Chain A
Amino acid sequence: MKIPCAPADDRLDATCKALRAQVREFLRNELSIGGFAPQCDSWLRGFDRAFTRKLGARGWLGMTWPRRYGGQERSQRERYVVIEELLAAGAPVAGHWVAERQVGPSILRHGTEEQKQGLVPPIARGESIFGACYSEPDVGSDLASVKARAVRIDGGWKITGTKVWTSQGHNADHLFVLCRTSDGAGVKHRGLSMLIVAMPAKGLAVRPIRLLTGEHHFNEMVFDGVEVPDSMVLGGEGEGWNIVTGDLASERSGPERFMSTLPLLGEMIRKARATPADARAEIVIGELVSRFWTLRSMSIGVAALMEQGHQPGVEAALVKDLGTRFEGDVAQAARLLYPMVPSLDSDERFENFAAQAILHTPAYTLRGGTNEVLRGIIARGLGLR
């Protein structure tokens, strides 16, 4: 297990600084024209096709990808700068989040030339929204047990089964579907394949799974004989598990794993600044900033390890376990620091953000691998399993 820590790179620092200034300028401008309303957890709840296209037009999606597939061939650090600025501003990035973070890299790593050329550039342009169909009603943390089945038909596969928790499934242009294509000779990790379904798809029913607030981000996806041509199998039959686990480090160590409630921290600081000096506020805010700063160092460190060719799955699990607890703690600290009535219809941004942060709290430590699963991964990294 390595200590993930942001490495020094003066040359990159200068490039990042200029890029950061551009992103901030863009965001300031968008805010001034009412281009978006800042919110907590904007990478889940902030769906805005137009905003996603604007980012694509600026070259801020798929920044690290090869130019011939629509990317910019920039470093992980530069991509990090862009996504952390977007998250800090509470910008609506949910439309492209899954596609940009994991689908694009997966296709680039495992796809055929035809798949890469056909599917990746539209993601980089912000024109292709992907829904990930992994979990099932009876399959949560134990993902290798998926039951959705794809059976051979002439020239392709036919999918039958039910998937749940597909964010933006109702808006998606494509789906990434993890299916069982064989029994894997008794080993459940084998026999899984990743099929790409183009939307709209015949035989697919999309039903909302509403959050406790009534918000609609997640969906149940019922596949009843949905047909997929062979050309849309990613990485070949039986590669599903490798694909799903291959990008876990980037999925778990990114800044969205500790910045979902950061806009609320900004509002706490705004509030503290507008009130007379108060030791308690100073201490509470100082503690939160210290924890955030630490997580940021670790997260950049994991990105650097990945860029150096390591597979920091354990380190990523550390970041996510600490980061997602931090997200909930920001909401808790905010409500205890100043008297308030958290409400989604409050005219006060502090109360509004607090309401968003509190109501989304249960998800932070569950989505993308529960903290219990993560600790298991860390324990394995320590040689205990």
Chain B
Amino acid sequence: MDDAQTGMLADSVARALGDVVTARGTVEAEAQGLDAKAWKTLRELGLAGADAAAMSLEEQAAVLEAIGYAAALVPYADSEAMARWLAHGAGLATDPDEVLAIALASPQALSGRRIAWGRHSTRTLFSYEEGGRNWVAVVPSADLLLANGANLAGEPLDKCGGDRAQPTEVREVVDDFSPAAVSQRGALCRGAAMLGAARKAQELTLQYAAERKQFGKPLAQFQVIQSYLAQMAGELSAAAAMFATALRAARGGARASRAEAAAAKVRIGQAAHTITALAHQVHGAIGFTEEYSLQLWTRRLWAWREEFGNETDWARELGAAMIALGPDAYWERVTR
């Protein structure tokens, strides 16, 4: 699929979600931790099940950007772009109708663990390393004795009840499906969704600044507000540019593109910080109410920047890699 086709996929997903997802609907769905209507829509588009595993990372990223933009409360990233992909890589059969959860942990170390989307999943795939080899273990999610919990965006982040669980299947996987590769893919998936959410937060802020009047003129006419809005545009543009670079590098395999992925999650996380801060500053107090919709996107940015590695995690890894390369080889790596 080329860039134009990926763009068309993104547009069709955005349109479909635009028809069913509303800000109020998302807030109400948080009680269940799932927007069933939105999820059904994505499934009808063929975005879940075996077809999902066959999609490229670029296509999945396009879908995720649309999900982030719509603030749709759906487990697409974890279940389809990640767990389904991992199951496929491990040669595990899945039911097209089941939601899968994913955990970067051993099923023997569950104490204090949380499982995203756990309550809606039939099975959880555990990705871990042991004895210098990469493993995927499958555990029925019911065996995890989950108690409901949530991330900052109100997405399920359920708490494991026991210390360990008995897998029904365990498979060794190759390097492309190692825990490191899974977390890297997770970082890119969250990054894609964050770009969509950041774009929406920016649009809302531009619109609000144009409409809201103070001291007899729209906020958008104040020079300091214009400067904030320009800064937001710069951050969004920077995040999108680094993400696109990372996504393209990912075609060369996970290991070869780890530095780009790290740089992307760092840069998107930094952008999320500035964009959420300025979006709320421009909106004034209405922006931090439940009633006004901005919070759907800023809470997503706050939640997703932590997941699959935050700025510190990835900066440290990237920095260590560059230091190990040294002053000449780091430059060769970045300009490769």
The answer to whether A and B come from one shared complex is: yes
Distance to closest chain B CB from A267 (angstroms): 7
A-B contact pairs, 20 of them (CB 8 A): A5-B245, A266-B330, A269-B325, A270-B326, A270-B327, A272-B323, A273-B323, A282-B317, A283-B316, A286-B315, A287-B315, A289-B322, A290-B270, A293-B245, A315-B237, A322-B234, A322-B238, A374-B230, A376-B226, A382-B206
Of B266, B311, B320, the contact of A277 (CB 8 Å cutoff): B320
Tell me the A83-108 residues at the B interface (CB within 8 Å).
84, 88
Of B231, B311, B330, the contact of A375 (CB 8 Å cutoff): B231
Which residue of chain B has its CB nearest to the CB of A287?
B315
A residues less than 8 Å from B209 (CB atoms): 384
Evaluate contact between B318 and A297: CB separation under 8 angstroms: no
Known: A294-B263, A379-B229. 5 other contacts (CB 8 A): A1-B237, A273-B326, A284-B319, A287-B315, A290-B242
Q: Is A189 engaged at the interface, CB distance under 8 Å to the other chain?
A: no
Q: Is A175 engaged at the interface, CB distance under 8 Å to the other chain?
A: no
Q: Is A235 engaged at the interface, CB distance under 8 Å to the other chain?
A: no
Evaluate contact between A286 and B316: CB separation under 8 angstroms: yes
Tell me the B310-336 residues at the A interface (CB within 8 Å).
311-312, 314-320, 322-327, 330-331, 334-335
Q: A291-B267, A382-B233, A385-B226 are in contact. Are A267 and B241 (CB under 8 A)?
A: no
Evaluate contact between A286 and B314: CB separation under 8 angstroms: yes
Q: In the complex, A116 Cα to B27 Cα: how many Å? A: 65
B residues less than 8 Å from A296 (CB atoms): 334-335
Evaluate contact between A301 and B241: CB separation under 8 angstroms: yes
Q: Is A18 engaged at the interface, CB distance under 8 Å to the other chain?
A: no
B residues less than 8 Å from A113 (CB atoms): none
Q: A266-B327, A287-B315, A379-B226 are in contact. Are A293 and B334 (CB under 8 A)?
A: yes
A residues less than 8 Å from B327 (CB atoms): 266-267, 269-270, 273
Q: Is A226 engaged at the interface, CB distance under 8 Å to the other chain?
A: no
Q: Is B227 engaged at the interface, CB distance under 8 Å to the other chain?
A: yes
B residues less than 8 Å from A5 (CB atoms): 240-241, 244-245
B residues less than 8 Å from A315 (CB atoms): 237
Q: A375-B226, A379-B227 are in contact. Are A3 and B324 (CB under 8 A)?
A: no
B residues less than 8 Å from A293 (CB atoms): 242, 245, 260, 263, 267, 334
Q: In the complex, A199 Cα to B225 Cα: how many Å? A: 46
Digit string of B290-326 for contact with A (CB within 8 Å is 1, else 0)?
0000000000000000000001101111111011111
Interface centre among B263, B319, B326, B331, by most chain A C-beta atoms within 10 angstroms, is: B319
A residues less than 8 Å from B324 (CB atoms): 273
Range, interface on chain A: 35 or more
Q: In the complex, A382 Cα to B230 Cα: how many Å? A: 8
Distance to closest chain A CB from B217 (angstroms): 12
Q: Is B220 engaged at the interface, CB distance under 8 Å to the other chain?
A: yes
Evaluate contact between A294 and B241: CB separation under 8 angstroms: yes
Distance to closest chain A CB from B203 (angstroms): 11
Evaluate contact between A8 and B248: CB separation under 8 angstroms: yes
Q: In the complex, A3 Cα to B206 Cα: how many Å? A: 17
B residues less than 8 Å from A321 (CB atoms): 230-231, 234
Evaluate contact between B323 and A285: CB separation under 8 angstroms: yes
B residues less than 8 Å from A60 (CB atoms): none
Distance to closest chain A CB from B209 (angstroms): 8
A residues less than 8 Å from B318 (CB atoms): 285-286, 289-290
Which residue of chain A has its CB nearest to the CB of B240?
A3
Tell me the A253-301 residues at the B interface (CB within 8 Å).
266-267, 269-270, 272-273, 277, 279, 281-287, 289-298, 301
Evaluate contact between B319 and A283: CB separation under 8 angstroms: yes
B residues less than 8 Å from A198 (CB atoms): none
Of B226, B233, B320, the contact of A286 (CB 8 Å cutoff): B320
Q: In the complex, A84 Cα to B206 Cα: how many Å? A: 35
A residues less than 8 Å from B248 (CB atoms): 8
Which residue of chain A has its CB nearest to the CB of B223?
A376
Tell me the A352-385 residues at the B interface (CB within 8 Å).
372, 374-376, 378-379, 381-385
Which residue of chain A has its CB nearest to the CB of B226?
A379
Of B210, B226, B315, B331, the contact of A282 (CB 8 Å cutoff): B315
B residues less than 8 Å from A298 (CB atoms): 237-238, 241
B residues less than 8 Å from A291 (CB atoms): 267, 270
Q: Is A20 engaged at the interface, CB distance under 8 Å to the other chain?
A: yes
B residues less than 8 Å from A372 (CB atoms): 227
A residues less than 8 Å from B314 (CB atoms): 286, 290
Q: Is A318 engaged at the interface, CB distance under 8 Å to the other chain?
A: yes
Evaluate contact between A3 and B244: CB separation under 8 angstroms: yes
Q: In the complex, A146 Cα to B71 Cα: how many Å? A: 51
Evaluate contact between B226 and A384: CB separation under 8 angstroms: yes
Q: In the complex, A272 Cα to B316 Cα: how many Å? A: 13
A residues less than 8 Å from B241 (CB atoms): 3-6, 294, 297-298, 301
